[in-house]
Amino acid sequence: MYFRHIYEDGLAQASYVIGCQASGEAIVIDPRRDIDVYLDVAEKEGLRIRYVTETHIHADFLSGARELAAATGAELLLSDEGGSDWRYQFPHRGLRGGEVIELGNLQLTILHTPGHTPEHISFLLTDTPASPHPLMLFTGDYVFVGDVGRPDLLEEAAHMQGTKEPAARTMFRSLRLFRELPDFVQVWPGHGAGSACGKALGAVPSSTVGYEKLSNWALQIEDDDRFVRELLSGQPEPPPYFARMKKLNKEGPGILGSLPHPTRLALTRFHQLWQDGVLIVDTRDKLAFAGGHVPGSLNIQDTRSFSTWAGWMLSEDQPFVLIADERRIDDLSRALIRIGLDDVAGYLPNLRQWTQMGNPLTVLAQITAPELYARLRSNEVQVIDVRAHSEYIESHIPGAIHIHAGHLVHHLDEIPRHKPVVINCLGGYRSSVAASYLQAQGFTQVINLTGGIRSWWAERYPVETGDEVSAMPA
């Protein structure tokens, strides 16, 4: 048996290639949209991709299942569970709980595991030549390492009122199935730490049934109501693009055929687009952005958080161009198509020519923790904390008000226009997104807290270095 865990850092998303070397065939579970990684594996391992499947209708990324099936001639196997509202609306062979996919010497038994979504299925894999016992369970967004899938996305992101509590109860029932599996079965979920699909996902890629039974909070609770209460509390804010992904994944995402390559823009063209009001997304380092940027541009740094914040701040209806190093365009373009942003209007490789030609640059003022401390005492500034609500609740700078960076659009009138506002997050990524957004909205006294609340903590509590570091995105 061949097995490969393919992890996409930006969305903390896992896909799997499982192959039978005896028959030379493979199946891919939950492929992403830039599918060359699977063609590569198939080529190197001498396998033919015969089936493409997925655990559920994803909300956090655009599925590559259709793309991969089209490119390889593989058969699309998709869940027909969950009722007619949750049926994939494009050609596929339907799967139901209890069915078995045969792949050479391998067997994948379908388990219907609703809760995160009604049609959600999991795959229990048996490698028959090695053992009649099951080897692995591919859980998608059913059971994560240390957590279970959140049942509230439909309500929070797709605004289907009244769905989250019933879904949480469904999840409780689904977990019974998990408890019945042997301890030794490996658990390979659809996400790792940092995904918005669960609140407490661990950074370890896989677990076992037995270990989860002992350690996963959701499997420690025997009481139905308490489970529902705990599951629904403290979930991170889902980005607005989730609703759109869900819809597209159900209807069938468009097939790309080949990866798009954004056009490099001549400066005159870029200048024209900027004057026409096309959004400039500046992917440079936050320090460089602070040092000088094109007026009105948005800073979404080119780190693993790029997809997520592109998902929060951009939409397919609003054209935008990138400022990004030529060698990074391919990766950034992939990050964007994974969430359905296929049409980048072009890119400018850097700001050298822009500056040299005498075009304007805006600075983003910085403040350090000690300076902030001094100015807070004289009540000169307003701090805005743009982290997740749960982070704010745990600890924040005195007097700070909380507005999630991705929700600023709805709260602009709560922000003072005639007083300096200091934006903070944990380490500076999100505050740079937020501060640049506010500058673009006409706020003229925006200041970024250099180093985020981490530097504040370091300043206020200098001894306890290290303790406060978390796995949250900066």
Q: Binding to a copy of itself (CB under 8 A): which residues in 261-280? A: 261-269, 272
Query: Which residue's CB is nearer to a copy of itself, number 200 or number 376?
Result: 200
Q: Does 161 bind a copy of itself (CB under 8 A)?
A: no
DSSP class of residue 406 equals G
Minimum separation from the CB atom of position 474 to a copy of itself (A) = 7
Q: Which stretch binds a copy of itself (CB under 8 A): 154-162, 239-247, 283-291, 381-389?
A: 283-291
Nearer to a copy of itself among residue 48 and residue 419 (C-beta): 48
Which of 185, 248, 298, 300 is close enough to bind a copy of itself by CB under 8 A? 185
CB of 459: closest distance to a copy of itself in angstroms? 10
Q: Which of 160, 259, 278, 401 binds a copy of itself (CB under 8 A)?
A: 259
Tell me the sheet residues that pair with 101: 108
Which of these segments, 113-121, 202-210, 306-314, 390-398, binds a copy of itself (CB under 8 A)?
A: 202-210
Chain residues 350-379 in contact with a copy of itself, contact rule CB under 8 A:
350-353, 355-358, 361, 363, 366
Q: Beta partners for 138?
A: 123, 188
Per-residue contact flags (x/-) with a copy of itself for residues 56 to 75, judged by CB under 8 A: ---------------xxxx-
Q: Report in angstroms the alpha-carbon separations of 158 from 64, 249, 285, 361.
A: 21, 13, 33, 39
- Residue 48 touches a copy of itself, criterion: CB under 8 A: yes
Cα separation, 344 vs 346, whole angstroms: 5
- The interface with a copy of itself within residues 305-334 (CB under 8 A) comprises 327
Q: What are phi and psi of 423, to 5 degrees?
A: -100, 135
Q: Which DSSP string do the residues of 239-291 spell out, in sequence order?
A: PTHHHHHHHHHHH-PPP-SS---PPBPPHHHHHHHHHTTPEEEE-S-HHHHHH
Question: Facing residues of 26 across strands?
Answer: 19, 49
Q: What are phi and psi of 195, to 5 degrees?
A: -80, 150
Alpha-carbon distance of 114 to 128, in angstroms, equals 27
107 or 353: CB nearest a copy of itself: 353
201 vs 415, beta carbon nearer a copy of itself = 201
Among 82, 97, 210, 420, which residue sits at the site for a copy of itself (rule: CB under 8 A)? 210
Q: How far is the CB of 255 from a copy of itself (least distance, A)?
A: 11
* Interactions with a copy of itself, residue window 385-424 (CB under 8 A): none
To a copy of itself, the closest distance from the beta carbon of 107 in angstroms equals: 15
204-207, Cβ contacts within 8 angstroms, sequence gap of 24 or more: 204/145, 205/5, 205/7, 205/14, 205/145, 206/5, 206/145, 207/145, 207/146
In angstroms, the CA 230 to CA 225 distance is: 9
Identify residues 114-143 at the interface with a copy of itself (CB under 8 A): 127, 130-131, 133, 135
Q: Which stretch binds a copy of itself (CB under 8 A): 228-236, 240-248, 435-443, 447-455?
A: 447-455
Quick check: 455 binds a copy of itself (CB under 8 A)? yes
Site size toward a copy of itself, by CB under 8 A: 95
208: contact with a copy of itself by CB under 8 A? yes
Binding mask 214-253 for a copy of itself (x = CB under 8 A): xx--------------------------------------
Q: Is 202 in the site for a copy of itself (CB under 8 A)?
A: yes
Three-state DSSP state, 37: helix
Q: Are residues 319 and 336 in contact, defined by beta-carbon separation less than 8 angstroms?
A: no
String marking each residue 7-46 x if it binds a copy of itself according to CB under 8 A: --------------xxxx-----------x--x--xxx-x
The smaller minimum CB distance to a copy of itself, of residues 100 and 130, is found at 130
By CB under 8 A, name the one of 58, 286, 334, 430 that touches a copy of itself.
286
The token pair that represents 48 in the structure block: 């033919």
**3-state class of 106 per DSSP?**
strand
Instruction: Indicate if the alpha-carbon torsion angle 347, 352, 353, 355 is positive or negative.
Output: positive
3-state secondary structure of 137: strand
In SS3 terms, 223-241 reads as CHHHHHHHHHCCCCCCCCH
For the bound state, the minimum distance from the C-beta of residue 49 to a copy of itself, rounded and expressed in Å, comes to 7
Query: Smallest gap, in angstroms, from Cβ of residue 452 to a copy of itself?
Result: 10
Round to whole Å and give the CA distance between 86 and 77: 15
